[in-house]
Amino acid sequence: MGETKRVFAYDALKVLATFLVVFYHTKMLDLGYREGVYYYPNLSQLISLFTACGVPLFFMVNGALTVRRDYDLKKTAIKAARCVFIGYIWGVAMQCVMAIRYHDMSVFSLYNNCYWFMYTLAMLYVVKYVLNKLPHWVRWVAVFALLVYPFLNNLIWDFTALVGNNYGIHWRRTGLFTLYSVVFLYTGDYLAHHYKQISKWALVLAGVVGYGLLVVQVIAAVNFMHRPFEGGNYCFPTVGALLLSVALFAWGMEMRLKEGWLKRYVLFLANNSLGIYMIHMLVMAIAATLFPQIIELDFSLNPIVVAVICLINMTLSAGISEAIRSTRAGFLLKL
pLDDT along the chain (335 residues), means of 10: 68 97 81 75 86 94 94 95 94 86 72 84 96 93 94 91 78 84 96 95 96 90 74 72 96 93 96 96 87 68 84 97 96 92
Residue 80: per-residue pLDDT: 96
Q: What 3-state DSSP class applies to 124?
A: helix
CB 232 within 8 A of CB 29: yes
What angle, rounded to 10 degrees, do the helices at 303-325 and 273-290 form? 110
Residue 229: per-residue pLDDT: 61
Residue 170: per-residue pLDDT: 81
Residue 1: per-residue pLDDT: 33
What's the Cα-to-Cα distance from 202 to each of 196, 237, 269, rounded to whole Å?
11, 21, 31
What one-character-per-residue DSSP string does 186-210 give?
HHHHHHHHHGGGS-HHHHHHHHHHH
The whole model's pTM is what? Answer: 0.92
Residue 27: per-residue pLDDT: 75
Rounded-to-10 torsion of CA 65, 69, 72, 75? -30
Tell me 235's DSSP state.
S
CB 282 within 8 A of CB 316: no
